[in-house]
Chain A
């Protein structure tokens, strides 16, 4: 987008020289303000506890980067952060893959078949679109507890893949696949599942990737649900585990380790978002349609 010269909106008449620099300056200022909390957390993760508790803390990184991060990753406060990151990874990938698989299958059924209860099923997933997990936490918690799924990956994952956004997205996409392709596949001798595996899934791969990015972040950033069902610290996810690192009462928090953990908690989703920026933006704009 940015490299098309004709896209220069304000520019064609008045934006020359000073005005251009002013725009850049304001933009940089905006970025700095937005970035400041992350920068400060990074600085705090590279200095010592005494540097922090005697304000004002420094604004440039210190020399204790490896010490703080290795302490966080290997020891943590209640449980090593490496363990929490692993839990988060399993949860985020589990939610993303699980949701993509069940949504691909059900969207394929809805679009390419006429079967009993199709309308009822369609309405069923439509309703699940509306209700975030936060609204039904207590009874969902009871279901999980009843199945003995507290402190388990399946307990972390399953309730969060019961939603329909991905199904709708795939349905939308499948409807744009030309009818003739399905007919050609039929003439070529492909039965429905063969058509699904050989044609539909490969054609959906950019959509799948975009959705993976969005769902990975959604899963990684979950807070309330893991807070409820992981009472065992070794099952904590990193995002909810940070809060557990603050001592109760008046003890002073171990700020460098907590801040190192905060940075570690944002690295995977930031990497995913920044490296797959184009896909991510596309997925975002399409899934909200």
Chain B
């Protein structure tokens, strides 16, 4: 889409885009270029010079069992976060959609967790499940179950998943609720007259109408789980135990800043660039499709 009307001149528009172009260049394109460049070098132990290794860092990376398992961890983690954040959200949205009065109040209350930073959410959940003082872990102990996410990889994964999904329920709820409100009432009434009961109507009429929203949320939640959950993992498990919760973004940080392995960290960044690129393409193709829906 283009405007019919434009103003003349080229100096003014160049001046107008300059701030964004400059900031993007300095803080975005230059670092991204550096990441690609660095991914092809190995610095010597003293950091004085570095040696060109081509794709060596990548070869090394993919032969590293820790890195490969981090891929698996990320896949498991993001799948679980997506499911755990979307299913309850859809359920709550369906309930809210059934209500005439009060839906606004519930919505106001349900928005809260979205505003809570992932890192703060991590602290809240870590507090509830803390092995020494946690309320939930204490009650679990009373029931005969010893909770210890510090030692048990599965419990650690479960906890970071729930803490990450928690705030996303609000987000998904808002989108599902808006989509449900947009389903034409006449469609549902027609189905009701045809004799379909509520759940039957839901699965045969409403859910298919929600599919664009659902697909959109699927992609967005995966992106979230990949890149924005660092705070949760850093506060609750720091990637442990035994790297059971080290997702890819956490590993970039751990190898680059804690381990000071810049070549490997840069190579990991490049791999992540490719992953985000792929997800973005999927998202945009989807948006194009949604226009025709």
Q: Find out whether A and B make contact in their complex, taking CB atoms under 8 A apart as touching.
A: yes
Which residues on the A side are within 8 Å of B189 (C-beta)?
12
Indicate whether A193 reaches chain B with its CB closer than 8 angstroms: yes
* A161 is an interface residue with CB less than 8 A from chain B: yes
Contacting pair B13 A175 (CB below 8 A): no
CB–CB A139/B230 < 8 A: no
Answer whether residue B53 sits at the interface, using C-beta atoms and an 8 A cutoff: no
A31-B106, A109-B17, A281-B178 are contacts. A135–B269 as well, Cβ < 8 Å? yes
B205 → chain A closest CB, angstroms: 11
Interface residues of A in 261-289 (CB under 8 A from B): 262, 265-266, 269-270, 272-274, 277, 280-281, 284-285, 288-289
State A125–B106 Cα separation when bound (angstroms): 38
Residue of B nearest to A114 (CB): B6
| Residues in chain A near residue B227, CB distance under 8 A | 132, 134-135
A35 near B109: Cβ-Cβ < 8 Å: yes
Whether a CB of chain B sits under 8 angstroms from the CB of A89 is: no
Q: How many angstroms from the CA of A222 to the CA of B3 in the assembled complex?
A: 37
Q: Are B108 and A242 in contact (CB under 8 A)?
A: no
A40 adjacent to B128 (CB under 8 Å): yes
A270 near B116 with CB under 8 A, answer yes
State in angstroms the CA–CA spacing of A102 and B19 once bound together. 6
**Is residue A37 within 8 Å, beta carbon to beta carbon, of the partner chain?**
yes
- Complex contact A183–B5 (CB within 8 A): yes
Contact of B120 with A192 in the complex, beta carbons under 8 Å? no
For window 264-279 of chain B, which residues contact chain A by CB distance below 8 Å?
265-266, 269, 272-273, 276-277
Residues from chain A with a CB closer than 8 A to the CB of B88 are 30
| Chain A residues positioned under 8 Å from B253 (CB to CB) | 137, 224
A50 → B minimal CB distance (Å): 11
Q: Give chain A's interface residue range (CB within 8 Å of chain B).
A: 35 or more
The B-contacting residues of A in range 128-170, CB under 8 angstroms, are 128-132, 134-143, 158-159, 161-164, 167
- Are B115 and A162 in touch, CB under 8 angstroms? no
Q: Contacts A274-B112, A288-B220 given; indicate if A41 touches B174 (C-beta within 8 A).
A: no
Does B98 belong to the interface (CB within 8 Å)? Answer: yes
Asked if A17 is an interface residue, CB under 8 A from chain B, the answer is: no
Pick from B106, B118, B188, B216: contact of A223, CB under 8 Å:
B118
Query: Are A57 and B135 neighbours in the complex by a CB distance under 8 Å?
Result: yes
Complex contacts, A281 vs chain B, CB 8 Å: 174, 178
Does A124 interact with chain B (Cβ within 8 Å)?
A: yes
Given contacts A2-B100, A135-B269, A258-B123, contact A143 B31 (CB under 8 A): yes
Closest to A223 in B: B231
- In the docked arrangement, what's the CA distance between A108 and B18, Å? 12
With A2-B103, A6-B185, A135-B227 known to touch, is A277 a contact of B108 (CB < 8 Å)? yes
The secondary-structure label for the interface of chain B is: helix
Instruction: Give the number of chain B interface residues (Cβ < 8 Å).
Output: 108
CB distance from B197 to the nearest CB of A (A): 7
Determine if A140 and B27 form an interchain contact, defined as CB atoms under 8 angstroms apart.
yes
B133 touches A52 (CB 8 A): yes
Mask, A13-29, CB within 8 Å of B = 1, is 11100001001101100
Instruction: Identify which of A55, A139, A141 contacts B133 (C-beta below 8 A).
Output: A55
- Chain B residues contacting A174 (CB-CB under 8 Å) are 3
- How distant is A41 from chain B, measured CB to nearest CB, in Å? 5
How far apart sit A258 and B119, CA to CA, in the bound complex (Å)?
A: 13
Residues of B within 8 A of A121 (CB): 17, 21
- Name the residue on B nearest A266 (C-beta): B116
A131–chain B nearest beta-carbon distance, Å: 6
Q: How far is the CB of A243 from chain B (nearest CB, A)?
A: 5
Name which residue of chain A comes closest to B180, CB basis: A9
Contact status A56-B118, CB under 8 Å: no
Docked CA distance A221–B109 (Å): 19
Residues of A within 8 A of B216 (CB): 288
Binds A, one of B32-40, B57-65, B67-75, B76-84: B32-40
Question: When the two chains form their complex, are residues B110 and A34 in contact, meaning their CB atoms are under 8 A apart?
Answer: yes
Asked whether A227 and B181 contact (CB < 8 A) given A103-B20, A116-B14, the answer is no
Give the residues in chain B near A35, CB-CB below 8 Å: 109, 112
7 tightest A-B CB contacts, nearest first: A221-B117, A139-B34, A223-B231, A139-B31, A113-B13, A109-B16, A269-B115
Q: A59-B135, A109-B16 are in contact. List 6 more A-B contacts (CB 8 A).
A: A27-B95, A101-B19, A112-B3, A115-B9, A131-B32, A265-B117
7 contacts between A and B (CB under 8 A): A23-B99, A57-B133, A105-B16, A113-B9, A131-B276, A239-B117, A243-B235
